[in-house]
Amino acid sequence: MSLYPQTKHPYYIVCPGYTRRSAGIRALYLLCHHLNISGYPAYVVLWPWSDLEFCREMAFDLLTPLLTKTILERHLSNGAYPITLYNETIPGNPFHSPCAARFYGNFPGLLGGGAVSSDELNFGYSKVLAEAIGSPDNVLFIPTVDTSIFFPSNSGEERKGTCFYAGKFKEIHYGKTFDITNDSIEITRETHIWSPQMIARTFRASELFYVYENTLLVTEAIICGCPAVVLPNPYMTESIAKVELGEYGLAWGTSPSQIQFAKDTVHKGWQMYNQSLSLFPRHLASLIEKTQAYAERIYNK
């Protein structure tokens, strides 16, 4: 018996600086944290490098150490060769890693990046995404909602008005919002204005939440008891997590029947989200097993 851990392939997770406005980035930091507490060394590699200087938020409560040159050299000298994990927005393999894997938090190409590569071990955030990248068995569902902030309202107060979100729809795809949201409160990506607490209070007071894109805000709204209404457009054609979370509380379009369905079923969203938490440990164990075996094949050729 030894108190020292066995040598394992460490994980270098290449991603932007931490920000709470991106569920995909939060998922990668949570992954890094849970790999570490599972006994598999994991480090964040900031991309682009400028993020280290300009990142205004840090994941203080998470075990997410930054990779340094000293750590890298120590790994290589000890034969602990890394698994480099990119997300779908980073094109190619900029670090020329012989053992590259990729986590798809959205559909390939929708937010940049490149085509799905058969030279990498690919994982999807949901069953829908895993199938879209041709790896239906490689699902890594990471629930990222902070349920100490987002939870159902018990006040019994009448909900009034609507709110909407079109962040990437406007900023990346240059889409024009529809007339139906002209009189709605717009939730923006400005974190100094829209804190999680402010967003949660808005959801608990609103009758409906209109959305133009796949975003975690849909889940957060439904958890808060606010039905979400998808406004279909070329960049929003399918709900990413419909297998893991179901579509309770979700209206696809603005027809009266869809709106009524969302209102009638929104109370089930909280239960579905809590049930989904049990998926992560199994998915994490599967990712560890597959990536460690993948690294062994590559480095022991």
Handedness of CA 91, 95, 100, 104 (dihedral sign): negative
Residues carrying CATH 3.40.50, the chain:
11-143+277-299
Length of the chain measured in residues: 301
Q: How far apart are CA 121 and CA 123, in angstroms?
A: 7
Report the pLDDT value the prediction gives residue 50, as an integer from 0 to 100: 53
pLDDT for 52 equals: 52
Q: What is the pLDDT of residue 58?
A: 66
Task: For residue 221, give the nearest of 213, 229, 233, 232 by alpha carbon.
Answer: 229
Are 149 and 200 in contact by the 8 Å Cβ rule? The answer is yes
- Decide: 32 and 1 in contact? Cβ < 8 Å: no
Q: Which residue in 169, 199, 195, 197 sits closest to 181, CA to CA? A: 169
Nearest-5° Cα angle at 162, 165 to 145: 50
pLDDT of residue 61: 87
**Cα→Cα distances 121→49, 99, 280, Å:** 24, 9, 19
pLDDT value of residue 22: 86
Question: With a cut of 50, which residues of the chain have pLDDT below it?
Answer: 51, 53-54
Nearest to 173 by CA among 218, 241, 234: 234
Contact 148, 140 (CB under 8 A): no
* Fold of the domain spanning 11-143+277-299: Rossmann fold (3.40.50)
Torsion, CA 57, CA 130, CA 228, CA 168, rounded to 10: 50
Question: Given this model, what pLDDT does residue 55 score?
Answer: 55
Instruction: Tell me the sheet residues that pair with 102.
Output: 86, 122
What's the confidence (pLDDT) of residue 204?
Answer: 96
Per-residue model confidence as pLDDT tens digits over 159-180: 999 999 999 999 989 999 999 9
pTM of the model: 0.90
pLDDT value of residue 253? 96
The predicted pLDDT at position 115 comes to 87
pLDDT value, residue 192: 78
Report the distance separating Cα 28 and Cα 88, nearest Å. 12
Q: What pLDDT sits at residue 189? A: 85
